[in-house]
Amino acid sequence: MADLFDNKILCKDCDRVMTKGFCIKDGFKIRFLQCPKCHSRTFHPVDKKEYDDFNEIKKKEWNVKLRMVGNSYAVSIPREIIEFEEQFQREMNNIIRMTLEEPTKLSLFLTKRKLIK
């Protein structure tokens, strides 16, 4: 399917052809079109939705249980987080990287790839 941003799009205020660009926010590459005259921006709707979805999940806080499984402890990861990261869903058998950053802070890395898309 063709992308709308592949076409020439005119600024609604100036009637000038808008130029392509992108910005990086929280590791997400968000494409936009910008008017060379009035500098108004139109963000790519798919990129903007993905970034907004990330921010909604980021605002949430989950209480999860710590369970004993054999000689190890297990924590469940909420489905909402797994569903957001589509690549992780496809590769469910991958090993998750985990680091202890501070005495009370544990970090999980679901994929090896960078956040910038």
Give the domain range for residue 78: 66-109
In a domain, 116, yes or no: no
Tokens 């985990």 identify what position?
Answer: 98
Q: Is the pLDDT of residue 75 over 50?
A: yes
pLDDT tens digit string along 29-63?
999 999 999 999 999 999 999 899 889 988 998 88
Q: Which amino acid is at 60?
A: K
* Mean pLDDT calculated for residue range 21-36: 91
CA nearest neighbour of 35 among 6, 52, 62, 15: 15
pLDDT tens digit string along 100-112?
999 999 888 876 5
Cα–Cα distance for residue pair 96/87, rounded to 1 Å: 13
User: Looking at the structure, do residues 8 and 54 belong to the same domain, yes or no?
Assistant: yes
In a domain, 48, yes or no: yes
pLDDT tens digit string along 5-18?
888 999 998 889 99
Q: Is the pLDDT of residue 117 over 50?
A: no
User: Looking at the structure, do residues 8 and 26 belong to the same domain, yes or no?
Assistant: yes
Final residue before a domain boundary, out of 43, 59, 75: 59
